[in-house]
Amino acid sequence: MSALSTAELTAIYTDLHAHPELAFAEHRTAGIVAERLRGLGYDVHGGVGGTGVVGVLANGAGPRVLLRAEMDGLPVTERTGLPYASTDTAVTPDGHATGTMHACGHDVHVTCLLGAAAELADRRAEWSGTVVALFQPAEEVGGGARAMVDDGLFDRVGTPDVVLGQHVMPLPVGVVNLTPGTAMAATDSERITLHGKGGHGSSPEATVDPVLMAAATIQRLQGIVSREVGAGEKAVVTVGSVRAGTQANIIPDRAELLVNVRTFDAGVRERVLAAIHRIVAAEAAASGAPQQPDHESIATFRLMVNDPAASERTGAVLARTLERHRGTIEAAGGTPALIAMPPLPGSEDVGDLATAAGVPLVYWNLGGFDTALFAGFDLAAATGMGNLPDGVAPNHSPFFAPVPEPTLDLGVALLVAAAQEWLDAV
């Protein structure tokens, strides 16, 4: 089978986009990936870490290069209006019905890696070594990479010499961000359950209202960053979900908060998490709660750190690849550019693969948005997901909509070039 055409890549992408699957439930996606890899001549390992798929293409002696893409979508109802928009639904692990969407571009990542796998298979006369194409489940909950490692990933496919990958971001087509060293934040997500005493809405004096307790807690949590984190430090505290009660005239007996924390320093992380526990306990006590709040960790991401030397080596080939595609990028209204942005507040678990293998990680961000939307915008002011021009939706937004072309072709070219840089040339 030869390399995939632009039309084939677009068809794969639009199909995946229309049918997102949540973490550890990527059965349809995994099936598509496994079938295509087998057709390319890869040795396919399925069910790794649950729904993970790994294709191995051995082509003589040489380095073993791991290319990673993640497969899971998000519990977001899509509002892009695209002709291939998702209308699929699912039930989350905690029992809530939701729309599903590839609101973080994992459909782009899977498509580009399938395209790169096809091109590397087609160009075996140019390189020697082993390509490991890894399609990971459950990145969004921070558990997929570790699940694959714990399931004997490297015993099955061998230990790589380097881990490479990319993530589509709200940057213009033709722009690639590669940040050496610390590149993305650590994350902690907690489910906090506040306990009250339920009763009739007409008699609040006979209850302990967990809704009021939750409201006071949420407001107080916002003081952590502004009053307990120094001006030279970085942290984000977000309450992303509040759930309580069933109807207006019933005071419920509990309220649930989902809290997300982003940090770049271990000391700051410990301080922020301690402050959350202190504030939650204090507000419960102030409300006369009948029992202490419950804290459940639901996701943890470590700092994502790009190896500096490996980033310098890979960045050089990424820059050359962008330059080779200058005509395509300019036709789309863009200018090829390799930039190094400050560390992003988003998080990734790809580093767990490299850490477990004891090898360098190089992970870059691929611009995938219409260049016209960035007219007059200073890229130096971009933060990756915030401070964006009007019309550019960040990752996790129901309006997140990368342009398939030339994003997909560029994504394939960058993965292939990076892989060949680390493989032996023939």
Q: Any binding-site annotation on 233?
A: no
Cα–Cα distance between 59 and 40 in angstroms, integer? 13
Phi, psi of 18 (to 5 degrees): -75, -15
Mark the ranges of the chain whose per-residue pLDDT is less than 50: 1
Q: Tell me which residue of 385, 400, 94, 340 sits closest to 236, measured CA to CA.
A: 385
Burial 32-52 (b: 16+ CB within 10 A, else e): bbbebbeebebebbbebbbbb
Peptide bond preceding 406 in cis form (omega within 30 of 0): yes
CA gap 145, 136 in Å, rounded? 7
pLDDT tens, residue by residue, 356-414: 999 999 999 999 999 999 998 888 776 666 678 888 999 999 999 999 999 999 999 99
Dihedrals phi, psi of 211, to nearest 5 degrees: -70, -45
- Percentage of residues in the chain having pLDDT higher than 70: 98
Q: Is 104 annotated as a binding residue?
A: yes
Residue whose C-alpha is closest to residue 237's, from 388, 345, 341: 345
For residue 373, count CB atoms less than 10 angstroms from its CB and return exposed for 0-12, middle for 13-18, buried for 19 or more.
middle
- For the packed helices 6-18 and 27-39, what is the interaxial angle rounded to 10 degrees? 160
Q: Is 106 annotated as a binding residue?
A: yes
pLDDT of residue 2: 65
Long-range contacts of 95-102 (CB under 8 A, 24+ apart): 99/75, 100/20, 100/21, 100/22, 100/73, 100/74, 100/75, 100/76, 101/20, 101/73, 101/74, 101/76, 101/77, 101/398, 101/400, 102/16, 102/17, 102/20, 102/73, 102/74
Rounded Cα–Cα distance for residues 141 and 150 (Å): 16
* Rg over CA atoms, the chain: 23
Which pLDDT value is given to residue 390? 87
Structure tokens at 267: 């000391």
Crossing angle of helices 308-324 and 404-422, in 10° steps, is: 130
pLDDT tens digits for range 263-316: 999 999 999 999 999 999 999 999 999 999 999 999 999 999 999 999 999 999
Tell me what pLDDT residue 384 has.
61
Q: Is 140 annotated as a binding residue?
A: yes
Q: What residue ranges define each of the domains in the chain, with the CATH number in brackets?
A: 6-183+303-425 (3.40.630.10), 186-301 (3.30.70.360)
Question: How far is Cα of residue 41 from the mean position of the Cα atoms in its chain?
Answer: 29
CA-based nearest residue to 116, from 421, 423, 410, 425: 410
Question: What pLDDT sits at residue 1?
Answer: 46
Three-state DSSP state, 168: strand
Q: Which of 99, 97, 110, 106 is nearest to 36 (CA)?
A: 110
**Nearest alpha carbon to residue 300 among 144, 183, 142:** 142
Q: Whole-angstrom Cα distance, residue 62 to residue 76?
A: 43
**What does the block give as tokens for 186?**
């650590």
Residues whose CB is less than 8 angstroms from the CB of residue 301 and which lie 6 or more positions away in sequence, other chains included: 142, 184, 185, 186, 187, 347, 348, 349
